[in-house]
């Protein structure tokens, strides 16, 4: 793609794209980096509290639970202790939770250029939403910790929509609430089987954030459609080029 600084059509009404929907984890935030650091810290804390495993053994077992139950499972340490020592030990559990929270909060960061891109998209007059499968409070915790809580017109989580991607309902709900047509909306996300397939099912232009695709080693693949995205980016900054291309093609077609 050609480099894009801040070029855009002169009038918002004249361009094809009116809104951008962002996935949150591993698209705006390096969620898996923070998750991995937090689990390693929790494993070390549990070992210090008496857990008879190595850090690698504990980490592997915890992520095996995440793979089965989902990466946002809220009782992962309880299940881990029940499987490992046959009971919940409050001393070990408390050590894990405290260490996990400290490491997670210190490790959670945005991807490079996130604030720059959000500021440019906002300044250009696009509507912006987050559609996430995360629990509502966890999503707001992450957004607030990173100072992004005021950046979006709309934030929808699984608690708000009652559906997980690739179900199109979360995207369709966002479109309805922003009053934007699907063909005038772009979705960007890191998970092809959820973000990209779900966006396509809702009729959106899809952008695969390849730089953030880190869930796949911890999640089962969804059988069926491989789901080719409309665009692939290796840096969030390239989203600006995608918007320019879509709007430029639209203007060229209108002028024919």
Least confident of 19-28, 222-231, 232-241: 222-231
Q: What is the pLDDT of residues 182-204, one digit of tens each?
A: 999 999 999 998 999 999 999 99
**203 with 116, same domain?**
yes
Q: Is the pLDDT of residue 77 over 60?
A: yes
Q: Which domain holds residue 97?
A: 33-107
Same domain, 69 and 195: no
**Once rounded to an integer, what is the mean pLDDT over residues 82-90?**
96
pTM for this predicted structure? 0.84
**Number of structural domains the chain divides into:** 2
Same-domain pairing of 73 and 102: yes
Does residue 1 form part of some domain? no
Nearest to 99 by CA among 146, 37, 55: 37
Here the CATH number for the domain that contains residue 185 is 3.40.50.1000
Q: How many residues does the chain have?
A: 256
Is 42 in the same domain as 142? no
Shared domain for 82 and 151, answered yes or no, is no
Q: How far is CA 251 from CA 68, 94, 219, 245, in A?
A: 47, 59, 41, 10
pLDDT in tens, 41-55: 999 999 999 999 999
Instruction: Return the sign of the alpha-carbon dihedral for residues 34, 39, 41, 45.
Output: positive
């Amino acid at each position: 793609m050609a480099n894009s600084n801040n070029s855009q059509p002169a009038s918002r009404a004249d361009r094809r794209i009116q809104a951008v929907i962002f996935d949150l984890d591993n698209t705006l935030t390096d969620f898996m980096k923070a998750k991995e650091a937090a689990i390693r810290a929790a494993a070390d804390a549990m070992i210090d509290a008496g857990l008879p495993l190595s850090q690698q053994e504990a980490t592997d077992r915890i992520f095996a639970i995440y793979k089965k139950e989902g990466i946002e499972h809220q009782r992962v340490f309880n299940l881990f202790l029940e499987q490992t020592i046959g009971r919940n030990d409050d001393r070990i559990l408390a050590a894990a939770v405290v260490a996990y929270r400290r490491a997670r909060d210190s490790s959670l960061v945005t991807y490079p250029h996130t604030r720059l891109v959000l500021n440019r998209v906002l300044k250009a007059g696009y509507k912006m939403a987050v559609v996430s499968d995360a629990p509502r409070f966890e999503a707001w915790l992450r957004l607030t910790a990173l100072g992004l809580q005021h950046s979006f017109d709309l934030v929808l989580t699984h608690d708000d929509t009652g559906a997980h991607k690739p179900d199109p309902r979360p995207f369709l709900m966002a479109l309805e609430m922003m009053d934007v047509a699907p063909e005038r909306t772009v979705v960007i996300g890191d998970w092809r089987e959820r973000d990209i397939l779900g966006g396509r099912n809702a009729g959106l232009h899809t952008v695969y954030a390849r730089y953030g695709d880190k869930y796949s080693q911890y999640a089962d693949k969804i059988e069926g459609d491989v789901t080719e995205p409309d665009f692939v980016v290796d840096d969030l900054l390239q989203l600006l080029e995608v918007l320019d291309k879509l709007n430029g093609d639209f203007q060229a077609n209108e002028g024919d």
